[in-house]
A and B are shown apart, each in its own frame.
Chain A
């Protein structure tokens, strides 16, 4: 069975996490992704700790499903090779600091003349216009800037960073992948490629669409609420008698009566203060202490049994050592094990989608920088005299 992106070639001029993760996903869908790196690779990608057998996990994890070619785009000879590959490519993704790619002679206006069918993604941190045009950024700088920390933290406490410093990178990456797929559809219909511009800042704000909506409606900063949701209730963590926390989420009105029954609090079902979600949100300060006291009276296991019977969303706070063997994770391949050529067997992220007719994957480990240079040039029929710079 063929893959969805069979025959689609991606010229991957990406660094760090944002660009690489997007092309890794295109690779999982079957695209032939050629990752172009300068000799030695970009310093950030290869240096972010931790390392496994000397290589950064950032580099390893963001570059599966690709082949690696080394080109020094500051040299005329290698740039000629790049253009040979670009003539045969469908997609180019780059996330260099604005201006950098133009200095290498690979800006959109130049490249689209060579290959008008090319879909060209320019991803940046803060965009190409405005007072911050051209400023570089990484996940934590965008976290700080985009308001994301101001809505996260303990109740009545200070806003804090999400210490897994990659989430906004990867969110931007997934939006790039989505946009490329959309442009491929457009190209099937128009015959033409186009330029797609994506800023991390805009992606990070889009991820806060629902929270920004609260602000626009009230002109008031939505403050951190600990584990609680702002617009549904009860939707937060409760400590149980065994001192374990249990996450529960009543998002729909039809879940409320079952929740009350599960907690032996049936009298609340008809309490007019809590009769609908807007009322429960409004009276949250009266509702939560009653629930908190009840949860503390029995261990989490008891509440899980009761809540499951009533089909009320609930779940424990898990960690990797539990997740890696969790039957739900294994059954769906959410985390899988993968043999890699240089770094041993690893736990890696599973595929985020399932296609019944044209399965994605399997995940293929990438390689070291430049590992497939000769193989790729041969396969693409590019013969080069790298000294004279003649590419044929």
Chain B
């Protein structure tokens, strides 16, 4: 039985490189769309991100480009530009990250494409947004994190900045881009009208810090992690004898609470108002959590992390260990959710990667194509579009 995807039959022509745009279009491909990845003769620059490489392929590139066909076109040449324009005209969706005015310089601007294809959904991705003094500035993962104050929630004041280890500027923006494209496609299905949509990495990260902007408007008092985190020291969770854990108490009752306190030898907290209401404000995101953390850690000193986790569970709390990648990926919960999947690549061999993130009961996500070799589908795609130029093709094969 063939899987029917939500986006079967939609054709996406993708001019993006790096992480953000490719993560966006991979989501569309997982949903069933045909994604044609247009690459310059040297390939998407993510093909050179690394080490690590798997065989000749960048591990990062492999993780973002399944379900795509690669067409190599030199947009510096008239032939390449004409072929690109023709493919873009046949598309339901075009995604580009050439920067403001960049698409216009090579004849791929929305205004021109829509003349031939009024139903086109055209998505532009920029580092900082399409208006304002930085509209032409180029960005990078760290530059956008720094400017959006993400580094203010990490490290220590006065010391060298620490970035979020995950590529949040790129990947979170890729999710917003996919939202914008899907919303515009939905509108098109209902009205027949296409349109141009835009997202930016800076705007995406600032949006995702929205609770902060609210918090800083006019708070009743200056406490709570949303405000204290600027000055708080690095947080490593709660230390037990053999490792760190994180826990939260939200549902204890009087009997459970007394048992926990006795078991941990923390009787002194029974007369400490910060531990009122069965410790509800004394852990995790509670008001007093940061200041009473040493009290917990003193009590955890002689116990293993698993003992503490069981104890917290036994009184209806939530507790988990801090894990690195080897322990996470060996965890039975990750296996139970089928989070990791394997793809067979023609030269890199079998490699592991994340499965599509959402599970749909009817229109299931699927992995139909491995990440492509550069230009692997050039001939197939151009021939199907009736554009055969053997000279140009031999150059890009």
Contacts and interface: CB of A to CB of B under 8 A. Distances in A.
Interface residues of A, number: 160
Contacts of B260: none
A323 B149 contact: yes
A177 B184 CA distance: 14
B141 interface: yes
Interface stretch (A68-76, A99-107, A195-203, A261-269): A195-203
B390 to A, nearest CB: 29
A318 B232 contact: no
Contacts of B141: 229, 235, 249, 251
A179 interface: yes
Contacts of A40: none
A325 interface: no
Contacts of B187: 4, 357-358
B325 A248 contact: no
A352 B204 contact: yes
A143 B164 CA distance: 12
Interface in A295-323: 308, 311-320, 323
Interface stretch (A80-88, A275-283, A370-378, A380-388): A275-283
Given A182-B7, A196-B361, A206-B357, A162 B142 contact: no
Given A50-B223, A174-B172, A355-B184, A332 B142 contact: no
Given A57-B226, A214-B59, A314 B165 contact: no
A25 B179 contact: yes
Given A211-B166, A316-B147, A352 B207 contact: yes
Given A60-B214, A161-B237, A235-B142, A201 B163 contact: no
A323 B152 contact: no
B45 A252 contact: yes
A151 B165 contact: yes
Contacts of B314: none
Interface in A236-278: 236-237, 239, 245, 247-253, 255, 276-278
A216 B142 contact: no
B213 A130 contact: no
B339 to A, nearest CB: 5
Contacts of A343: 218
Among A49, A52, A239, A356, residue most surrounded by chain B Cβ atoms (within 10 Å): A49
Nearest to A177: B179
B193 interface: yes
B210 interface: yes
B180 A355 contact: yes
A131 to B, nearest CB: 5
A194 B363 CA distance: 8
Contacts of A61: 210-211, 213-214
A285 interface: no
A227 B160 contact: yes
B185 to A, nearest CB: 6
Interface string B197-233: 1111011101111111111111111111111010010
Contacts of A62: 211
Interface in B93-127: 127
A328 interface: yes
Given A160-B162, A188-B186, A350 B171 contact: no
B150 to A, nearest CB: 7
Contact of B207 (A202, A245, A345, A350): A350
A52 B285 contact: no
Contacts of A5: 183, 186
Interface of B is mostly: mixed
B214 A183 contact: no
A133 B372 CA distance: 37
A185 B360 CA distance: 13
A186 B6 contact: yes
Contact of B197 (A126, A205, A354): A354
B250 interface: yes
Nearest to A231: B49
A224 B165 contact: yes
Contact of B45 (A160, A251, A315, A331): A251
Interface string B260-301: 000000000000000000000000110100000000000000
Nearest to B357: A206
Nearest to A56: B224
Interface in B306-346: 318-326, 328-329, 332-337, 339
A213 interface: yes
Contacts of A174: 172, 175-176, 179, 208
A305 to B, nearest CB: 13
A249 B140 contact: yes
B84 interface: no
A135 interface: yes
A140 B222 CA distance: 21
A183 B176 contact: no
Contacts of A126: 333, 337
B124 to A, nearest CB: 9
Interface stretch (B68-76, B131-139, B373-381): B131-139
A319 to B, nearest CB: 5
Contacts of B318: 135-138, 141
B363 A248 contact: no
Contacts of B196: 356-357
Contacts of A329: 132, 206
Given A131-B336, A315-B147, 9 more contacts: A58-B211, A61-B211, A137-B320, A160-B234, A174-B175, A199-B337, A228-B163, A277-B50, A313-B140
13 contacts: A150-B325, A154-B162, A160-B235, A160-B236, A165-B226, A183-B6, A202-B354, A211-B167, A226-B155, A249-B139, A251-B45, A332-B129, A348-B213
